[in-house]
Amino acid sequence: MSVRTDQRKEMYAVETKNSNSLVVTLKELRKETALKIHSSRAKWIGNDPKFDCDIYAIELNIEENP
């Protein structure tokens, strides 16, 4: 789950021509938490049509503390 700690900061990432939603998600996760997660660990949950975004779940290991 992604949690916005600074309410003034927008909470989204934008796909580019050469990327997909998972690539963008993992880049944003690394930028925000310093966690490097392999794409095979991400589970696609679904798409939120209201916000036009894909939702992923990643189970962290005990030593992975964001």
Q: Are 33 and 2 in contact (CB under 8 A)?
A: no
Confidence band of 1 (pLDDT split at 50, 70, 90): very low
Query: Percent of the chain at pLDDT above 90?
Result: 38
Q: Tens digits of per-residue pLDDT, 34-53? A: 999 999 999 999 998 888 88
Q: What is the pTM of this model?
A: 0.68
Distance of alpha carbon 18 from alpha carbon 15, whole angstroms:
8
> φ, ψ for residue 30 (rounded to 5)?
-65, -40
Arithmetic mean of pLDDT, 22-44: 92
Q: What is the rounded average pLDDT for all residues in the chain? A: 81
